[in-house]
Amino acid sequence: MWLSRPLYELLPYLYMVLGVVLLGLAWHSPMVPGLIMFTGAVSLLAGIVLWLRRRDYRSRQAEYDEKSIDL
């Protein structure tokens, strides 16, 4: 599955915003707060993990010279 670059770059932030919104809803929801809170926490965690992994990948790629390996 291919995503456009702007959507791909926006995904971690969308996950984090969705997680915060769901956690806020769970705080004020008299209905199933446990399920909403779990889903919000997982979404927030997924967004943070994606953001950190991309940041780490980009910093490591900058350390290597792509032209140093000639095949």
CA 19 vs. chain centroid, Å, equals: 10
Q: How many residues does the chain have?
A: 71
DSSP labels, 9-65: HHHHHHHHHHHHHHHHHHHH-SS-HHHHHHHHHHHHHHHHHHHHHHHHHHHHHHHS-
Tokens representing 52 are 């950190």
**Is residue 19 classed exposed, middle or buried when 0-12, 13-18 and 19+ CB atoms within 10 A define those classes?**
buried
- Does residue 12 have a pLDDT over 90? yes
Span 22-49, pLDDT tens digits: 999 988 877 778 899 999 999 999 999 9
Q: Is the pLDDT of residue 70 over 60?
A: no
